[in-house]
Structure 1
Amino acid sequence: MTDIPEADPATGAALAADVPAALELLRAGTLTVHGQLTDASNAALYCSVALDGVEALCVYKPVRGERPLWDFPDGTLAGREVAAYELAAATGWAPIPPTVLRDGPYGSGMVQIWVEPDPQAAPLLALQDPSGPEPGWLPIVEAEVGQGRTALLVHLDDQRLRRLAVVDAVLNNADRKGGHLLSAADGRIYGIDHGVTFAATGKLRTLLWGWAREPLTEEAVEMLRRLGGELDGALGKRLAPHLTAVELTATRERVAELLRTGRHPLPSQEWPSIPWPPV
């Protein structure tokens, strides 16, 4: 391991927004491992990547460091992260940092531009009085906070989060924790950690339930119509190396179901709706 460089919120956000430059750097740059993120459930390495005088921080998750899961095929999480990025990029909303699958010091793995949360950004989640939510916030669930007291866990009523909620519904994201939401220095909100996505059966588990039952926005409907066509074409071909044929079909069906109902989905009665731990 080498000396650990300090992340700059502005630099990471700027490169994440410059998608062509970020993808070229991630694909062709030299990876240097600086340390391991110890709170990750799978091996997640804190790295830098350098190419032609340009250097950025990134996270590298080698396939060999993935822990087996009972409900996902072994060795597929890195590919699912890349597939999630490809689908999210196709929405035009860019809610996931640029991500590639490439070889690295510990073999093939997912490499993603590091986005450092902006310490000056307003919070996206809060605990409020159970009688809430307060204006500008949407309820998630009533939570126990100790000594017999409860509070209402809420998320911001924000168009950026609402877009991400739609993307998660298409991805069938089984792990949208609060810690997987990053407010970047340029005002964007990014989602990270998409290894447990694209299951063929319903596994949506998220904190972004504030819009459940509500009609989809017009821009979301337009995006889903376009996405459905792309899944039958170039986007589907890009996802195919990372997913099974059944999972690809299920993704198309989720898009079609969202368009059929015209509403944000409700929590499943057969699967936990809130990730644990939630934050």
Structure 2
Amino acid sequence: MSHAEAGEILGRLANWPITGIGLHPGGSNYVFVVRLTDPEKYDATRAEDESYVVDESASIYGIYKPQAGERPLRDFPSGTLHNRERAAYLVSQKLGWPRIPPTVIRSGPHGEGSVQLFIDGAPIPEGEDEPENYFSLRDDRLDDFRDMAMFDVLVHNADRKGGSCILDEEGRLWAIDHGLTFNQMARRRTVMFEFNGSAYPEELLANVEALISDLEADSDLAKDLTQLLSVPEIGDLVTRGREMVALGHYPVLDPDINVPWPMV
């Protein structure tokens, strides 16, 4: 997705009216699938009319995670998870990886929350009951997860499940679910132990160095992050980046301790 395309989608996610909403099953927090429609092709005065049909061709879909629906956690400050979704997206945009769907903070039917572009997943493989995930993809595409695993170290991800990546219809991998990030007090949790102790790709380390320089220069990104994260959390992000460059390899995590639940 080009910067121009991402910018256009961000504008739609932030400004188009939410014209439909449904609860997404299976989440520990309240997560909703929402439809957003071009205001020029939506008649809000007829929204309550059962005969009114919204123009699907003028609509996009998003994942809405309202602050009010966030379950209190012991290791994360209350009411901050939606901001962390947006922060992760901004950091990924600066790095150029991994591929995270455009994400904004906006008001919705249940108050302020994050809204992320909904990604249509690839069809479920014949004979399977679940969509593709890390465990079903790693044998054939393990190298494609290196940037995602490296990103998780940088943002201190406490919830990288096997299902928090999506294979879309064009075979591209997208990283999702970054509400449990950036908090040094949380335990890092992941299912991606195949990279333990291996060297970081040099080109990705160069991107991390550029990110550190950008944050230390009081850039627009640094200013944006201060609206989403605490000052110590931003400082920890810089520190982790420096440590990654200095060490040059993925950490060695314990699959008995550093594992999310459930794993998919």
**TM-score band (shorter)?**
0.7 to 0.9
Deviation at 1:191, TM superposition (A): 1.1
* In 2: Cα distance, 1:250 partner to 1:156 partner: 34
Q: Which residue of 2 aligns with 1:177?
A: 161
Q: Which residue of 1 aligns with 2:200?
A: 216
**Which segments of structure 1 move beyond 4 Å, counting only runs of 4 or more?**
14-17, 120-124, 154-157
Q: Between Structure 1 and Structure 2, how many residues are aligned?
A: 240
Q: Which residue of 2 aligns with 1:115?
A: 119
Partners of 2:124 and 2:132 within 8 A in 1: no
Query: What is the DSSP-based 3-state SS (H/G/I as helix, E as strand, rest coil) of the residue aligned with 2:163?
Result: helix
Change (3 A) 1:17 1:43: farther
Partners of 1:46 and 1:60 within 8 A in 2: yes
Q: Which structure has more strand as a fraction of its residues? A: 1
Q: Which residue of 1 aligns with 2:19?
A: 32
- 190, 199, 206: which one pairs with 1:206? 190
Percent same amino acid at aligned positions? 32
Q: Which residue of 1 aligns with 2:253?
A: 267
> Which sections of structure 2, spanning at least 5 residues, go unmatched?
42-57, 126-130
* In 2: Cα distance, 1:187 partner to 1:204 partner: 28
CA RMSD of aligned residues (A): 2.4
Change (3 A) 1:80 1:126: closer
* In 1: Cα distance, 2:182 partner to 2:139 partner: 24
Q: Which residue of 1 aligns with 2:238?
A: 252
* In 1: Cα distance, 2:184 partner to 2:71 partner: 20
Matched, 1:186 2:173: no
* In 2: Cα distance, 1:37 partner to 1:182 partner: 16
Partners of 1:225 and 1:259 within 8 A in 2: yes
Deviation at 1:32, TM superposition (A): 2.6
Q: Which residue of 1 aligns with 2:29?
A: 42
Code of the aligned partner of 1:170: L
* In 1: Cα distance, 2:105 partner to 2:141 partner: 34
Q: Which structure has more helix as a fraction of its residues? A: 2
* In 1: Cα distance, 2:172 partner to 2:250 partner: 22
* In 2: Cα distance, 1:44 partner to 1:123 partner: 21
- 81, 89, 100: which one pairs with 2:104? 100
Q: Which residue of 2 aligns with 1:57?
A: 61
Matched, 1:74 2:61: no
Code of the aligned partner of 2:243: E
TM-score by length of 1: 0.79
Change (3 A) 1:180 1:62: same
Code of the aligned partner of 2:142: D
Code of the aligned partner of 2:104: V
Matched, 1:240 2:226: yes
* In 2: Cα distance, 1:37 partner to 1:198 partner: 25
Query: What is the DSSP-based 3-state SS (H/G/I as helix, E as strand, rest coil) of the residue aligned with 1:178?
Result: coil
Q: Which residue of 1 aligns with 2:53?
A: none
